[in-house]
Structure 1
Amino acid sequence: MLLRTLLSSVLFLTALLGPITSAWADSVWLNNGDRLSGEILLLDGGKLALKTKYAGRVLIDWKDIDTLRSDKPLLLRRTGLDSEHSKRLEAAGKGMVRVLNSTTETVPLASITRLVPPRPLLQDRVWEGNLDAKLDMQRNEDRTDEWQLKGNTRVEHARWRHVLTGELERKKENGEQTDNNWQYEYDLDRFFTDHWFWRAGIEQQRDEFDTIQRQRILGSGPGYRFWDNELGRFDLIGKFNRATFESAEGDLVFNTYSLEWDYKRLLWGTRLEFYSNAELQIPQIREIDYDLDSEFGLRYRLNSWARLSLLYELNQTGGVAAVSSSDRRYLLGVGIGW
């Protein structure tokens, strides 16, 4: 009964919102005289993303646009100014657009650096994220069931950015649990320019079957954003950290220096996504020289929300023989993105 009610509600909302969404027809006039119709998704990094019925999502260089029109509210940012709302945009001649709100102002297109539809609770930046799941079942001399859930999300508003990542893993062999761990990391970034920012973060790990049962790392340091637009991003961050390792034999507290990168690039008409995340830790203890936690992956977009994912993980620890290790894994799974 509950499932039937939910399905009926979804169908009702789809029927209700469908005509409203289709009524929003945006138009873009190019310098060569062509006109494109669709829905403006985003302007950032000098490119306008336009969703069309005939070609899907297309990317247009901002400098190639003569003027445009949008009947829906948009949040826009102009050079040197804070974000402002517009009820609609009207075409206003070559290289110009008319912004209609409580007042009417005609502004050069070249002065606009960002356009994005406003969202409830979030009024200044796209909220994005991914959630991937992987299941591995082996049936040979041993029965092995392993599943993994990985997710990440980020929200940027004004000069602040919130980044949250998490992972959950379970494994059973012949009915007995042999792996049970989780980890998460939360980072808060404060931008001082369009590129430079300061990051403060916390990371926790819990492993029921490992010698080190719990890890906690607090860190802070500068970061540099090379780019972040609808085609991808690249961040590089250096931090000073305070780490705490808890085990049955006692706690170990020490300092580390770390270098992180976060890279994403959309390819093949934005259908394919290549991404890489890594963190290199240099602990200030004799037993460990370095610790590398990295991943490289591909996601293929089946539609606007479903993904197929292929992930390669490389985790290495260098030091004395007792703690040195190298772990490589290949994961294939499905997921959702937003």
Structure 2
Amino acid sequence: MSLRILLPFLLLILSLPAGADTVWLNNGDRLSGEIILLDGGKLALQTKYAGRVLIDWKDIDTLSSDKPLMLRRDGIDSEASERLQAAGVGMVQVVNGSTVTVPLASITRLVPPRPLLHDRLWEGNLDAKLDLDRDENRTDEWKFKGDTRIEHGRWRHVLNGELERKTENDEETEDNWEVEYDLDRFFTDHWFWRMGYDHKEDHFSDAYRQRMLGTGPGYRFWDNELGRFDLISRYNRVALNSEYGEFDFNTWSLEWDYKRLLRGTRFEFYTTGTLHKPQIEVIDYIIESEAGLRYRLNDWARLSLLYELEQLYGVGTSSSQRHYLIGLGVGW
């Protein structure tokens, strides 16, 4: 095909209107865009002419959407919809094999389904920080933090990692990394059993290596397109290598994992952490926690703000370490 024939054909294809979701308001207005989320009585609609618009759900007469959505209705768990079709005032048709007309007032949540890898659910984040300081000292610092999880059937694999390097005047002052792998087996939709292994290396710390193997029950309060909340209790065996010798001891721990999308999925708040109760006299308890906020620039890019806190209490004293991470990241 010659370019003189191909070029007009391409221009015609590009000029065709893209499919869009449509919302009819009860004041007679009609808005077109992409439905992002319905939560808390607000519908987030991404438009080309006004950006992201938040619409009160009670102000909508009906709507339509050609893309798959997950719905939650009063008294009904989440259900899938292939598409939505406009119906009468205060109504909408839910199409998923069959067509059902339901009141808008009965729908409490709309959200695009999470991406699936065949029969698996896969999600994750990778955040990076780079700090170059060029004053009287030459300081280069970079840090990567990542997490990913794959869930299929009754099994869930969770992998977390962290890598940090820092040099001052070409002399290395920080060199540490950590990797953690957890395997969960669900017995119900909420209860599961976790087995996990954690390995830490810090070349500039007195305790330069730590390995921990643990197992215990967990409870999933919820895990959906808007977020998750897990609590896990574990019994662990810890092997610690330090400048003062090798130590082995047991701990009880309580872990939490919380994430929630906010303001039409634009913001994401999350916090994870572990409270340890070592079975040794010199340490009362240890807290390792982090909390952060991510701002979604687009479907994959994130701006991230992270706060890390590590505290140790024992023999009447305490020590704390705090870290802040501001950087860019990707999510999937």
Shorter-chain TM-score range: 0.7 to 0.9
Residues 50 and 124 (structure 1), Cα distance of their counterparts in 2 relative to 1, 3 Å cut = farther
Q: Per-residue CA shift, 1:226-249, capped at 9, x if unaligned?
A: 79664xx57362412313224264
What is the alpha-carbon distance in structure 1 between the residues aligned to residue 19 and residue 291 of structure 2?
38
Q: Please tell me whether Structure 1 or Structure 2 has the larger radius of gyration of its CA atoms.
A: 2
Match of 2:319 among 325, 328, 336: 325
Match of 1:202 among 190, 196, 208: 196
The equivalent of 1:116 in structure 2 is 112
The equivalent of 1:242 in structure 2 is 236
Matched, 1:282 2:288: no
Whether the 8 Å contact between 1:243 and 1:253 is mirrored in structure 2 is yes
What residue identity is the alignment partner of 2:215?
A: G
Match of 1:39 among 34, 37, 44: 34
Q: Indicate the SS of the match to 2:284.
A: strand
What residue identity is the alignment partner of 2:125?
A: N
Deviation at 1:133, TM superposition (A): 1.1
Whether the 8 Å contact between 1:68 and 1:90 is mirrored in structure 2 is yes
What is the alpha-carbon distance in structure 1 between the residues aligned to residue 35 and residue 202 of structure 2?
48
What is the alpha-carbon distance in structure 1 between the residues aligned to residue 130 and residue 249 of structure 2?
35
Whether the 8 Å contact between 2:43 and 2:57 is mirrored in structure 1 is yes
Bigger shift: 280-289 or 92-101? 92-101
Percent pairwise identity:
50
The equivalent of 1:335 in structure 2 is 329
Residues 189 and 116 (structure 1), Cα distance of their counterparts in 2 relative to 1, 3 Å cut = farther
The equivalent of 1:255 in structure 2 is 251
Deviation at 1:282, TM superposition (A): 1.7
Q: Note the 1:159-308 alignment, pairs <5 A.
A: 163-187=158-182, 188=184, 190=186, 192=188, 196-198=190-192, 200-209=194-203, 210=205, 211-223=207-219, 225=221, 230=226, 233=227, 235=229, 237-247=231-241, 249-250=245-246, 252-264=248-260, 266=262, 271-308=266-303
Whether the 8 Å contact between 2:300 and 2:330 is mirrored in structure 1 is yes
Residues 65 and 284 (structure 1), Cα distance of their counterparts in 2 relative to 1, 3 Å cut = farther
Q: Per-residue CA shift, 1:200-259, capped at 9, x if unaligned?
A: 2524132141424132242333335379664xx573624123132242644514131324
What is the alpha-carbon distance in structure 2 between the residues aligned to residue 157 and residue 46 of structure 1?
32
What residue identity is the alignment partner of 1:216?
A: M
Residues 157 and 97 (structure 1), Cα distance of their counterparts in 2 relative to 1, 3 Å cut = farther
The equivalent of 1:130 in structure 2 is 125
Whether the 8 Å contact between 1:184 and 1:205 is mirrored in structure 2 is yes
The equivalent of 1:92 in structure 2 is 87
Whether the 8 Å contact between 1:262 and 1:277 is mirrored in structure 2 is yes
Count residues with an aligned counterpart.
315
Match of 2:304 among 301, 309, 326: 309
What is the alpha-carbon distance in structure 2 between the residues aligned to residue 241 and residue 154 of structure 1?
22
Structure 2 residue runs without a partner (length 5+)? 1-9
What is the alpha-carbon distance in structure 2 between the residues aligned to residue 163 and residue 280 of structure 1?
19
Whether the 8 Å contact between 2:70 and 2:113 is mirrored in structure 1 is yes
What is the alpha-carbon distance in structure 2 between the residues aligned to residue 227 and residue 120 of structure 1?
14
What is the alpha-carbon distance in structure 2 between the residues aligned to residue 28 and residue 254 of structure 1?
58
Whether the 8 Å contact between 1:41 and 1:117 is mirrored in structure 2 is no
Structure 1 residue runs without a partner (length 5+)? 1-14
What is the alpha-carbon distance in structure 1 between the residues aligned to residue 145 and residue 16 of structure 2?
32
Q: Indicate the SS of the match to 1:285.
A: coil
TM-score scaled by structure 2?
Answer: 0.73
The equivalent of 2:3 in structure 1 is none
What residue identity is the alignment partner of 1:328?
A: R
Residues 48 and 197 (structure 1), Cα distance of their counterparts in 2 relative to 1, 3 Å cut = farther
What is the alpha-carbon distance in structure 1 between the residues aligned to residue 314 and residue 131 of structure 2?
32
Q: Per-residue CA shift, 1:141-167, capped at 9, x if unaligned?
A: 754432100123456778876654321
Residues 121 and 337 (structure 1), Cα distance of their counterparts in 2 relative to 1, 3 Å cut = closer
Whether the 8 Å contact between 2:193 and 2:216 is mirrored in structure 1 is yes
What residue identity is the alignment partner of 2:117?
A: L
Whether the 8 Å contact between 2:112 and 2:225 is mirrored in structure 1 is no
Whether the 8 Å contact between 2:210 and 2:239 is mirrored in structure 1 is yes
Deviation at 1:175, TM superposition (A): 3.6
Q: Indicate the SS of the match to 1:94.
A: coil
TM-score scaled by structure 1?
Answer: 0.72
Whether the 8 Å contact between 1:73 and 1:118 is mirrored in structure 2 is no
The equivalent of 1:9 in structure 2 is none
